Amino acid sequence: MNTGLQQIKNIIFDLGDVIIDLSIPGTLNRLAERSEKTSDQVKSLYWSSQTFHDYEKGLLTNAAFFQGANDLLGTDMSFEEFSEIWNSMLIRIPEERLHLLDRLSRTFRLFLLSNTNDIHLRRFTEMMEVVSPGRPLEYYFEKTYYSHRMGMRKPNEDIFSFVLNENGLLAHETLFLDDNHDNIKGASMVGIQTKLIENPAVLFELFK
């Protein structure tokens, strides 16, 4: 175990590109093709639109989000077509990462904190049933937190404080793992120890 983890008792994991492999560019490219916009235009809409942020906070229904996406992109996609494209960014859940979680749970209190949404939650629940039958994501963590069920999203400090307070965690004894620089900064602002997971090798090197 990494000697720098000696004071750590709790680990909060991000989901996308930490546990689940993602391809956000792949989905954005498909939306660009469908909308006849450039990939850069769709990327700009994706990151800057209040529609996407509100959906991740659970402030929009699936139907309202789908309609909002069509309006933004100037498309007439059906809900089924949009959901398939939207979910195509969820690539796979490597079994070795689940084995790592299983091992770490014997030493640390593990939590999951993800900016996500209802459409994706339904999809990665299905994916888990394939790779880990009878063991959903909830099996591997003491508690799972999804932004759309909390009305909050990373990198805002309130979401990190909520997880700490609800579980009686001390920030300096807690490690947060995420692939996003802004999210790492948000966790650091409340005193949580952090590690940027730039690729899966970093995750396994940390806990070898």
Give the whole-angstrom CA distance, residue 108 versus residue 50: 36
User: Model confidence over 169-201: pLDDT tens digits?
Assistant: 999 999 999 999 999 999 999 999 999 999 989
Query: Quick one: 21 exposed, middle or buried, by C-beta within 10 A (0-12, 13-18, 19+)?
Result: middle
Domain with CATH 3.40.50.1000 in the chain: 3-21+93-206
CATH 1.10.150.240 in the chain, residue ranges: 24-87
Per residue in 15-74, pLDDT tens? 999 999 999 999 999 999 999 899 999 999 888 889 999 999 999 999 999 999 999 999
**pLDDT value at residue 47:** 84
Q: Report residue 2's pLDDT band, with 50, 70 and 90 as the boundaries.
A: low
The answer, as to whether pTM is greater than 0.85, is yes
Which of residues 168 and 2 earns the better pLDDT score?
168
Q: Across 69-142, where does the E strand assignment appear?
A: 90-92, 109-114
| Architecture per CATH, 3-21+93-206 | 3-Layer(aba) Sandwich (3.40)
Contacts 24+ apart (CB under 8 A), 177-182: 177/11, 177/12, 177/13, 177/14, 177/18, 177/203, 177/206, 178/14, 178/18, 178/154, 179/14, 179/16, 179/17, 179/18, 180/14, 180/154, 180/155, 182/154, 182/155
Tell me which CATH code domain 24-87 carries. Answer: 1.10.150.240
